[in-house]
C-alpha cells in the first residue's frame, strides 16, 4: 500500500503521520523489522525522518498466513478497493476457519478469489457474523486498514444494522436497549446481559407484524 503525505502532514515525523492514520505501535514496529518495510522513492525511510507534502511512502507489510482456497463457495462482493473488501456472507457459512470448518468459510471463499487474480491475501475481518446470519462483512486487505478498523470499532465509529424476525408482537413501534453484554460462562459463542460486560446500545424500529404458520411474528 502507499501513504501520500498531505499538506497538513508536511514536515511531520513519519511515525506521527502513521499513528494519526490508524497504524498501531505493533504494526509500525513490524514494518521497521520488515525488509523494505517503509521506503520513499525506493530508499528506506525511518519513522523519525520528516516527510513532506506529496511524498509517497511505500508500505510493505510482508507475507501473512495463507488459507486454503475453495472454488465451490459462492458469495457476492458489495464493495472493493485496494484497502478493503465488503463481502455479502450467505447464511450457514462460517466467517472464520475453526474446528470442523477448515475449508468452507468466508475466508476460504476470499482466498480463492484472490488466488485466481494472483494477489496475496490474508483474511482480516473487521466484524464477524454467526454462521447462520447473512450480511455484510468488512475485510481489511492490509494490516494498516485492519488497525484503523479496529480503532474505529473500539470507539463506536462503525455501526451495525440488523434485520431480525421475532416471535410475538409485544414491541413498541421503536425504542432502544442499552445494556452491557458479555460472553456467557457456559459458552464460547453465546453472549448475554451481564454487569461485567461492555456497553451495547441497540436502537430498534418495528417494520411490520404478520402471522407465520399460525404464530404472530414481528420484523425489526
Catalytic residue chosen out of the listed positions 130, 178, 196, 198: 130
How many Å apart are CA 203 and CA 124, to the nearest integer? 28
How many Å apart are CA 1 and CA 61, to the nearest integer? 9
Q: What is the pLDDT of residue 51?
A: 93
How many Å apart are CA 123 and CA 112, to the nearest integer? 12
Task: Using alpha carbons, select from 108, 147, 105, 110 the residue that is nearest to residue 126.
Answer: 147
Q: What is the pLDDT of residue 94?
A: 86
CB contact at 8 A, 84 and 77: no
Q: What is the pLDDT of residue 186?
A: 66
Which position has the grid cell 462483512?
137
**Average pLDDT of the chain?**
82
Q: What is the pLDDT of residue 56?
A: 87
From edge to edge, which strands make up the β-sheet containing 124-125? 76-80, 84-89, 135-140, 124-125
DSSP string, 161-215: ----EEESS---SEEEEEEEEEE-TT-SS-EEE-TTSEEEEEEEE--EEEEETTE
Task: Using alpha carbons, select from 141, 166, 159, 151 the residue that is nearest to residue 201.
Answer: 159
Q: Is the pTM of this model over 0.75?
A: no
> What is the crossing angle of helices 143-154 and 25-33, to 10°?
170
Q: How far is CA 128 from CA 114, 124, 189, 217, in A?
A: 20, 10, 12, 26
Q: What is the pLDDT of residue 10?
A: 92
Which residues of the chain register pLDDT less than 50?
64-65
**Residues forming a β-bridge with 43:** 40
Provide the CA 177 distance to its chain's centre, in angstroms: 24
Q: What is the pLDDT of residue 189?
A: 64
Residue 64 half-sphere exposure toward CB, CA atoms < 13 A: 16
Query: Is 130 among the residues known to form the active site?
Result: yes
Amino acid at each position: 500500500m502507499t501513504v501520500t503525505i498531505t499538506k497538513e502532514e508536511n514536515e511531520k515525523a513519519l511515525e506521527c503521520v502513521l499513528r494519526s492514520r490508524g497504524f498501531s505501535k505493533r504494526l509500525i514496529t513490524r514494518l521497521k523489522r520488515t525488509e523494505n518495510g517503509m521506503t520513499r522513492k525506493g530508499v528506506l525511510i525511518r519513522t523519525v525522518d520528516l516527510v513532506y507534502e506529496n511524498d509517497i511512502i511505500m508500505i510493505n507489510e510482508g507475507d501473512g498466513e495463507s488459507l486454503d482456497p475453495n472454488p465451490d463457495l459462492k458469495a457476492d462482493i458489495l464493495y472493493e478497493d485496494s484497502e478493503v473488501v465488503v463481502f455479502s456472507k450467505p447464511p450457514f457459512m462460517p466467517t472464520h476457519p475453526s474446528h470442523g470448518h477448515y475449508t468452507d468459510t468466508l475466508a476460504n471463499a476470499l482466498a480463492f478469489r484472490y488466488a485466481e487474480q494472483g494477489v496475496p491475501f490474508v483474511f482480516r475481518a473487521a466484524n464477524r457474523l454467526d454462521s447462520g446470519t447473512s450480511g455484510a462483512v468488512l475485510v481489511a486487505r492490509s494490516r494498516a486498514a485492519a488497525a484503523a478498523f479496529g480503532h474505529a470499532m473500539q470507539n463506536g465509529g462503525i455501526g451495525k444494522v440488523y434485520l431480525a424476525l421475532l416471535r410475538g408482537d409485544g414491541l413498541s413501534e421503536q425504542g432502544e436497549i442499552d445494556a452491557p453484554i458479555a460472553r456467557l460462562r457456559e459458552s464460547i459463542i453465546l453472549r448475554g446481559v451481564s454487569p461485567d460486560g461492555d456497553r451495547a446500545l441497540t436502537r430498534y424500529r418495528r417494520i411490520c407484524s404478520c402471522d407465520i404458520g399460525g404464530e404472530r411474528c414481528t420484523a425489526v
